[in-house]
Structure 1
Amino acid sequence: MQSAKISARYGLLLSIIALICTALSAGVYFLTKDKIDSAVAKQQIALLSQVIPPQYYDNDLLSSCRAPNSAALQAVRIGKICTAKKGNQITAYAYETVAPDGYSGNIRLLVGMTPQKEILGVRVIEHKETPGLGDKIETRVSDWILSFTQQKITSDNLQDWAVKKDGGKFDQFSGATITPRAVVNQVKRSALILAENLAQLEAENHQ
């Protein structure tokens, strides 16, 4: 009987402690949520500004981001699309896409492109490529990713959109061709489909 009473007391004590911990955790969350959200937003804006220069827009670029409705865009792994406007005119798009055929799996990319099919910039958001080889797609390791800047993609220059080993104009890495090939091919695929769907994107932005 005494043992049961002790167990009940311990159970009640543990319940009270758990309740207090939950309340404290909730309190900390609500106190820090705005600061965390603000920090995340600043990081996202900083990343977006690397693929769409600030002089291209005067709208709230972050709040313009949305998931695409087009099945064609989804089919080439285009995710969130952000629309840059200046004077209420669309000047560029920034979109997330995924190269599925990296050496070590998916490579998440952020691409900036104008309606005139000029690539403003490309950055790697996430990857699992081999350090010292495939990680040269990162700006902290190499400036290779900057080779996309101000490159246009048209029906007349598609052969250029490949690594040099495949007959294109983009450098590959010594001992690591698969990674740059995956990035170049995905930028090419996604940019072409986005360009084909510009009219629909513009219409959606005016709804």
Structure 2
Amino acid sequence: MSSARYTATRTSLRTAAIMVGFTAIFTAIMAFTFDTTRPAIEAARIEEQMRLIDEVLPRDRYDNLLLEDFVDVGPHPALAGNRVSRIWRARKAGQPVALIAESSAPDGYAGRIELIVAIQADGTVSGVRVTAHKETPGLGDYIDPRKDRNKTRPWISQFVAVDWNAIEASKWTVRKDGGVFDYHTGATISARAVTRAVGRTVGHVVEQRDALFAAPSASRL
């Protein structure tokens, strides 16, 4: 082997070794960073989940560890469509209080609208919140109470205390379509999508209520 070729080989091997070393160090740093930040990320995720749940079901109504008492359902067309939906179970002194279901409306004006819906054990809606959407700012985004200009009575609050058993299934839509729920003129699509999704969700949860409460925790139905 010539001196020039030998030198080039040594240089290539040294460069490769340096690259491998840098890669190993970088991977170790990334792994360390992930391990050290994971608890904080998980805590933030849990805090956000509880913040949303608190808005639809106050904590004084139940005494179990809500986030640990759940079942996964689906995919089911009445809930999150082609995705699995998580349903948390609220109990007090061991007795069923409410079910909080992840759901979604696939037919929003700008795409899918994500929801959580809380249904009390008697079939009455405790609350509804939009958790993610892309509806038009200033027009259809009133479905999110944080964006609704009516802070006294946000549009989404009309579902509170509505009894599934008191309204025909076909009436779970906006008044424009023959239903019983309000909407904002000029922004019907967003309200229609959310209202119908809430109706589908409540109907399914009420129908499956006993099975949902009886299923083993962390199981899938």
TM-score, normalised to structure 1, is 0.91
Could you give the per-residue CA deviations for residues 43-79 of structure 1, whole angstroms, max 9, x where no partner exists? 11111111111121000111112202xx6x8231251
The counterpart of 1:102, out of the listed 108, 112, 115, is: 108
The counterpart of 1:183, out of the listed 189, 194, 199, is: 194
1:28 has 2:59 as partner: no
Residue in 1 aligned with 2:208?
A: 197
Deviates more, 1:143-152 or 1:81-90: 143-152
The within-5 A match list for 1:34-113 is 34-68=39-73, 74-78=76-80, 79-113=85-119
Q: 1:132 & 1:77 partners in 2: Cα distance?
A: 27
What 5-or-longer segments of structure 2 have no aligned partner? Answer: 149-153
| Greater Rg by CA | 2
Q: Which amino acid aligns with 2:37?
A: T
Q: 2:109 & 2:35 partners in 1: Cα distance?
A: 41
Q: 1:155 & 1:199 partners in 2: Cα distance?
A: 20
What 5-or-longer segments of structure 1 have no aligned partner? Answer: none
Over the aligned positions, Cα root-mean-square deviation in angstroms equals 1.9
Relative to structure 1, the CA distance from residue 90 to residue 138 in structure 2 (aligned partners, 3 Å threshold; closer, same or farther) is same
Residue in 2 aligned with 1:151?
A: 162
Could you give the per-residue CA deviations for residues 148-189 of structure 1, whole angstroms, max 9, x where no partner exists? 111112254445422121122322223211110000001011
Residue in 2 aligned with 1:174?
A: 185
Residue in 2 aligned with 1:13?
A: 18
Q: 2:210 & 2:36 partners in 1: Cα distance?
A: 44
Q: 1:158 & 1:66 partners in 2: Cα distance?
A: 25
Deviates more, 1:18-27 or 1:138-147: 138-147
Q: Which amino acid aligns with 2:77?
A: A
TM-score, normalised to structure 2, is 0.85
Count the aligned residue pairs.
204
What is the SS of the residue equivalent to 2:63? coil
Q: Which amino acid aligns with 1:97?
A: S
Q: Which amino acid aligns with 2:14?
A: R
What is the SS of the residue equivalent to 1:110? strand
Q: 1:173 & 1:11 partners in 2: Cα distance?
A: 64
Q: 1:18 & 1:168 partners in 2: Cα distance?
A: 61
Between 1 and 2, higher relative CO (CA 8 Å, sep ≥ 6) is seen in 2
1:120 has 2:126 as partner: yes
1:131 has 2:142 as partner: no
Shift of 1:141: 0.8
Q: What percentage of aligned pairs have identical amino acids? A: 35
